[in-house]
Amino acid sequence: MPVSEAERMELVGKLTDAIGKEAAETLMACVLPDGRDQLATKADLQILRADFESLRADLEILRAETKAGFVEMRSFMETKLARQARLHYGSLAAFILSGWGVIVTQTFVM
């Protein structure tokens, strides 16, 4: 049952008369203003634990999806880089062969 502010003030007054102002303030600082019904119970902690377990499961799914995405991206990049390398080396070979062709032609024509 919650305690009203008037009841709290009455208690502070009686405590001040009995044990002094500083001790009464210290004691009242230790007492919950809303009472014991505001404390967490074992059931509250079980609900919180279930929420954390659900969050952990969601994070594991997200981690697996992210890892799969990175694997897919790496494969894609390797494919594109291999294609680019073939194109580059093919162009370079064509350039070298055409250069050698010009040199050989100039050598045998003269």
pLDDT digits (tens, 9 = 90+) for 49-85: 999 999 999 999 999 999 999 999 999 999 999 999 9
- How many whole angstroms separate alpha carbon 73 and alpha carbon 78? 9
pTM for the whole thing? 0.47
On whether residue 44 sits in a domain, the answer given is: no
User: Does 16 map to a domain?
Assistant: yes
Domain that includes residue 11, residue range:
1-39
Query: CB of 19 within 8 A of CB of 27?
Result: yes
Give CA–CA dist 56/49, Å, rounded: 10
Q: What pLDDT shows up at residue 18?
A: 93
Distance CA 64, CA 54 (A): 16
> What mean pLDDT value characterizes the chain?
89
The answer to whether residue 104 sits within a structural domain is no
Our count of domains for the chain comes to 1
Domain contains 33: yes
Instruction: Give the integer Cα–Cα distance in Å for 75 and 68.
Output: 11
Residue 9 lies in a domain: yes
Residue 47 is assigned to a structural domain of this protein: no
